[in-house]
Amino acid sequence: MKQIMYFTLIVLSTACVSKKQYLEALDDIERLRNDSTVLHDAWNAKDAEFDSLRYAFVDFQNSADRNMASLMSKLDAKTADLVEKEGLLSERAARLRELQEQVSAQNDAMQSLRRTLRDALVDIPAQDLQVEIKDGKIYINLSENLLFGSGSAIVDPRGKAALKSVAQVLTKNPNLQIEVVGHTDSIPIRTARFSDNWDLSVARATSITRILVDEYSVDGKNIKAAGRSEYKPVGSNQTPEGRARNRRTEIVLSPDLEKLFRLVEE
């Protein structure tokens, strides 16, 4: 049908126009046909390019979705980790507060105990007795003059009265750890009983420990005796006053720190 119409068009055209016009018309038709082919090819190229871009966009979108899913998964993991750590920090902060409260309560208890001891020993002259707190412990410092004769480990009656007052406080605080420590000055000693200051310092500490346990009912499980000889002076051994200060017995009271240690370990 198209060939017939095309042949009719040609016949009609040859009947109405000159040969030159006819040829020019054919040229125009050919150019239009070529232009149409070019446009068609261009359209196909653009269509292919569009398909390529569409596929690329789909790939990009899929990749973006995967990346977003991965990022969200990591974010969720980080969030869970932070929540867990925040919980641990809150727990540790609570334990720290508990530890601080325990330490504060312990300090208050030791201060109260120090005042109680001072009140119990109020009749003893200041030069023969000091009660102080150092490093969380109570040190009851008893002079040789209060407790012993020179070079002796036998406790005088006045010393026993002081130890009885101390023991009355200790038996009411059964959780205390007690250490009795004997000290001497640096002047050498050699007697029938004591070969040196080590022997004297240990014997004095042991003598006091026996009195506290055997006569005044302090729990023997909580007490120990030790001697330091001349090696922990509190005064100068070059003066009589300093040597008198060094000839002393310390009763060192330590609080029960087991609960505090557990809190620290945790």
Q: Please give the residue that has the higher pLDDT: either 25 or 122.
A: 122
Which CATH fold would you assign to the domain 121-264? 60s Ribosomal Protein L30; Chain: A; (3.30.1330)
Q: Give the single-character DSSP code of 213.
A: I
Q: How many CA atoms lie within 13 A of 120 on its CB side?
A: 19
Q: What is the pLDDT of residue 4?
A: 44
Q: What is the pLDDT of residue 259?
A: 55
pLDDT at 250 exceeding the cut of 80: yes
Torsion, Cα 114 118 121 127, to 10 degrees, reads: 110
Q: What is the pLDDT of residue 85?
A: 85
> Residue range 48-53: average pLDDT?
82
**Sheet harboring 248-254: ordered strands across?**
129-134, 137-143, 248-254, 177-182, 223-227
pLDDT at 5 exceeding the cut of 80: no
Distance separating alpha carbons of residues 228 and 205, to the nearest angstrom:
10
Instruction: Categorize the per-residue pLDDT at 205 as very low, low, confident or very high, splitting at 50, 70 and 90.
Output: very high
Give the mean pLDDT of the chain.
Answer: 86
Q: What is the pLDDT of residue 265?
A: 60
pLDDT at 79 exceeding the cut of 90: no
Q: What is the pLDDT of residue 45?
A: 83
Contact 179, 224 (CB under 8 A): yes
Q: What is the pLDDT of residue 29?
A: 84
Distance separating alpha carbons of residues 113 and 253, to the nearest angstrom:
10
Instruction: Categorize the per-residue pLDDT at 261 as very low, low, confident or very high, splitting at 50, 70 and 90.
Output: low
CA 54 to chain centre: 57
Distance separating alpha carbons of residues 192 and 129, to the nearest angstrom:
30
> Residue range 166-177: average pLDDT?
92
